[in-house]
Amino acid sequence: MADSIQRVAILGGGFSGAMLAARLAETGVASILIDRTGRFGAGVAYATTFEGHLLNVRSNRMGAVDGTPDDFARWLAAHHPQHADPDGFAPRGLYGLYVEDRLRRVEAACPGLIERVTGEAVAVSGSTVNLADGRMIGADAVVLTTGNPVPRTAPAASADGRIIGDPWGPGALDRIGADEDVLIIGSGLTMVDVLLWLRANGWRGRASAISRRGLKPQAHGAHHDLPVPPTDGLTRGPLSARLAEGRRLAETHGWRGVMEGLRPLTAGLWAEADTAGRARFLRHLRPWWDVHRHRIAGPVAAVLQALEAEGRLSVVAGRVQAVEDRGDGVAVDWIPRRGAARPALAGRWLIDCTGPGHDPAADPLTGPLIASGRARLDPLGLGLDLDARGRVRGADGTPDERLFVLGPPARAAFWETTAVPDIRKRIEDVAAALAGIRAGS
């Protein structure tokens, strides 16, 4: 297949897609970057203009290219020196500008190797991408970098209803009055972002958040924690034994260091785990993993603590049974995780903060690929089944040389695929695979 890859179609222009296009260009492979919004680089994650939305990773670890983690910190020093603390947490909007700037610089250095197209991809046939407006984009390979889908837990919202199904939608939170109480399903990072925005925009109401275990994201330490080298007991053997070893190490060295030590091994440990082991992790440990692994900046944690101290934020553990939109407010029937039944929660608004609603079988882009047998779900239904290079496996398990997945939609194969330090490693893998196909290797 010598020189068989001339151009790659990348569906999604956020961080994953834009930075893949840049790396491909730097290796001599052309790409066409397709995004329905027309803004290339920032994506939903880094498009926010609210300075209170901070990165969850320190600036000196957020370089867009693997091997140069401090590149973003150097960029800040040159362009936004007021935010140039390498050990700090910069506004997410600045990171979006950094990604856009890198994309522009690579386009200038590698003319003709990156083409931008504004449009909504609705189908993939072979290596041809069909857009909603009827255009057909031909390529030699396709990479899905579609990012995180909107939450799917709350009932469907109506235009005049009180349920906000997508807190990231344009103006989604603007309808909430300054003194109105809100109900939130989910108590993770999305809840944090919503509360930060509301508070900064004059909101004085109260928030009640419900999640299965009532856990909130933990905070980073004052400085970067040195990794604690994982022991064999932490990386091998039954899950219960690993958990016990993790607790022992955390008591001795601190849990943040233990998590840092695990970070570079996570994808490999996930790949080694069998389906039963993965299922046990998801069922019993995932909530605790998420709040300790995906931490928030200290100033952000302080805001949550202040809201709780003021009696304006309460987080409860339980399961949502029913949601009723009453027109003038919302009620949530729920069953506490422990203890007797309690009265329904009530508020003027309900906000779905449960996180990405991954459902490839129902997705209009990937659903037909599954139905046709070109793709299949992983055994736990987390996402598309991929091989170690990110290639989509067909119904018979055969990897497709011309269809890849990168970023959050690849979570079934790699688990940690949402943070920049993890995605940039995967970008190298996919770029190398595509460049190898082009060279006939």
Q: Average pLDDT of the chain?
A: 94
Report yes or no: 294 and 193 within 8 Å, Cβ to Cβ.
no
Segment 67-94, tens digit of pLDDT: 999 999 999 999 999 999 999 999 999 9
3-class SS at 420? helix
Cα–Cα distance, 275 to 178 (Å, whole number): 47
| Confidence at 393, pLDDT banded by 50, 70, 90 | very high
pLDDT at 1 over 70: no
pLDDT at 2 over 50: no
| Confidence at 341, pLDDT banded by 50, 70, 90 | confident
Segment 288-300, tens digit of pLDDT: 999 999 999 999 9
Cα–Cα distance, 322 to 168 (Å, whole number): 23
Helix, strand and coil percent figures for the chain, each rounded to 5:
35, 20, 45
The 3-class secondary structure across 264-324, one letter per residue, is HHHHHHHHHCCHHHHHHHHHHHHHHHHHHHCCECHHHHHHHHHHHHCCCEEEEEEEEEEEE
Tell me what pLDDT residue 440 has.
Answer: 53
pLDDT at 231 over 90: yes
Domain 163-218+295-352 has CATH 3.50.50.60: yes
Tell me what pLDDT residue 340 has.
Answer: 79
Tell me what pLDDT residue 441 has.
Answer: 44
Of 177-186, 218-227, 238-247, 431-440, which range is least confident?
431-440
* Token representation of residue 43: 């994506």
The pTM of the full predicted model, rounded to 2 decimals, is: 0.94
The mean pLDDT of 162-184, rounded to a whole number, is 94
CA-atom Rg of the chain in angstroms: 22
Tell me what pLDDT residue 215 has.
Answer: 97
* Token representation of residue 191: 């809840």
Cα–Cα distance, 436 to 237 (Å, whole number): 36
3-class SS at 96? helix
| Confidence at 160, pLDDT banded by 50, 70, 90 | confident
pLDDT at 307 over 60: yes
The percent of residues above 70 in pLDDT, for the chain, comes to: 98
Looking up tokens 């150097």 gives: 74
pLDDT at 310 over 80: yes
> Per-residue DSSP letters for 226-273?
PPPPPPHHHHSS-HHHHHHHHHHHHHHH-HHHHHHHHGGGHHHHHHHS
- Counting DSSP H helices and E strands in the chain, the numbers are 14, 16
Tell me what pLDDT residue 4 has.
Answer: 79
In the chain, which residues fall in CATH 3.50.50.60? 7-149+357-439, 163-218+295-352
The percent of residues above 90 in pLDDT, for the chain, comes to: 90
Tell me what pLDDT residue 149 has.
Answer: 87
Tell me what pLDDT residue 302 has.
Answer: 97
| Confidence at 436, pLDDT banded by 50, 70, 90 | confident
Report yes or no: 32 and 160 within 8 Å, Cβ to Cβ.
no
Cβ-based neighbour number of residue 148 at 10 Å: 20
pLDDT at 325 over 80: yes
In single-letter form, the type of residue at position 190 comes to T
- For 7-149+357-439, CATH number out of 1.10.580.10, 3.20.20.70, 3.50.50.60, 3.20.20.220 equals 3.50.50.60
The mean pLDDT of 237-259, rounded to a whole number, is 95
Report yes or no: 67 and 427 within 8 Å, Cβ to Cβ.
no
The mean pLDDT of 308-331, rounded to a whole number, is 94
Q: In what order do the strands lie in the sheet with 207-211?
A: 163-164, 349-352, 182-185, 207-211, 313-325, 330-336, 345-347
* Token representation of residue 193: 């972002």
Sign of the Cα pseudo-torsion (418, 291, 228, 243, in order): negative
